[in-house]
């Protein structure tokens, strides 16, 4: 995932989290905002973590 895509997903997560505060007041909102912030500020330089999850690291 590119940095631009990660930033867009982060902002979408934060916005969905704010909206979710009105629907499911605590858990959905907190989870979406936290995951959005993590997605927004995490800068991945390579795909090692993703390859490890998929079992493709050799």
**Where do the domains of the chain lie?**
3-54
Q: What pLDDT, on a 0 to 100 scale, did the predictor assign at position 49?
A: 56
Say how far apart CA 20 and CA 36 lie, in whole Å: 13
- Taking a C-beta distance cutoff of 8 angstroms, is the pair 20, 34 a contact? no
Q: 2-33: per-residue pLDDT in tens?
A: 667 777 777 887 787 778 777 776 777 777 77
Q: What pLDDT, on a 0 to 100 scale, did the predictor assign at position 57?
A: 47
Q: What is the pTM of this model?
A: 0.48
Q: Give which of 29, 48, 32 is closest to 40, Cα–Cα.
A: 32
Say how far apart CA 17 and CA 54 lie, in whole Å: 28
Place of tokens 């991945």: 44
Place of tokens 């009105």: 22
Q: What pLDDT, on a 0 to 100 scale, did the predictor assign at position 37?
A: 75
- Taking a C-beta distance cutoff of 8 angstroms, is the pair 1, 46 a contact? no
């Amino acid at each position: 995932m590119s940095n631009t895509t990660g930033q867009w997903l982060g902002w979408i997560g934060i916005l969905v989290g704010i909206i979710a505060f009105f629907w499911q007041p605590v858990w959905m909102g907190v989870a979406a905002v936290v995951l959005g912030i993590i997605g927004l500020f995490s800068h991945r330089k390579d795909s090692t973590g993703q390859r490890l999850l998929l079992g493709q690291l050799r």
